[in-house]
A and B are shown apart, each in its own frame.
Chain A
Amino acid sequence: SQTIHQWPATLVQPVGSPLSLECTVEGTSNPNLYWYRQAAGRGLQLLFYSVGIGQISSEVPQNLSASRPQDRQFILSSKKLLLSDSGFYLCGGAKNIQYFGAGTRLSVL
């Protein structure tokens, strides 16, 4: 069965610092991959999705970027974090039904 690995579980970063969150998938090949964010009091908002290596679609304009260097690797990045980037980030993968990682709680101070 498909498993999503996501790390770290929590992260505290200063404003202006770079960010790299990694997500890897086990148990399947060529999955669709997704990055979601949940800000306080809001639902899960889709940030990026990818249907294949090097293919990234952005859903909302923001300070973040995503890359998919390998079939089962999806990376969320920022060159300079803002306070508003704080939130809970969730990686998802899907062949048919979506599965999710454990999430990363990011606090930008």
Chain B
Amino acid sequence: AQRVTQPEKLLSVFKGAPVELKCNYSYSGSPELFWYVQYSRQRLQLLLRHISRESIKGFTADLNKGETSFHLKKPFAQEEDSAMYYCALKSGGGATNKLIFGTGTLLAVQP
């Protein structure tokens, strides 16, 4: 079955500390994975996707097919990083672009 697991509901760190938001997936085939973020009072928006291999706002995520993981990392957390983070897996063939979401992790960066 296709599934995305985010084991942590809440991750609290101090400003300047490293951050790692965990995401594991279950998918038969070549996965396409995303991280979405929702800041307070804003709508859900794309943060990054693995095929772009980019760093956005200091965040990176590497797809590890052996461990079926796509953890989101940042070396030094900032207070403005506090938000809800969702890992998502593209599901369905063709152009359907369906997404399977994890349950989300609330990142709280303390001053």
Contacts and interface: CB of A to CB of B under 8 A. Distances in A.
B95 A51 contact: yes
Interface stretch (A21-29, A79-87, A96-104): A96-104
A5 to B, nearest CB: 11
Contacts of B4: 43
B101 A44 contact: yes
Contacts of B101: 36, 43-45
B46 interface: yes
Interface residues of A, number: 25
B107 to A, nearest CB: 16
A43 B4 CA distance: 9
Ordered nearest first, which 3 A-B pairs have the shortest CB separation?
Answer: A44-B101, A43-B103, A100-B44
Contact of B86 (A44, A57, A101): A44
Contacts of A45: 101
A90 B95 contact: no
Contacts of B96: 32, 49, 51, 57
Given A43-B86, A43-B104, A44-B86, A98 B97 contact: yes
A100 B47 CA distance: 13
A103 B98 contact: no
Contacts of A51: 95-96
Given A4-B43, A43-B101, A98-B97, 5 more contacts: A32-B96, A46-B98, A51-B95, A90-B44, A98-B46
Nearest to B97: A94
Contact of A32 (B44, B45, B95): B95
B99 interface: yes
B83 interface: no
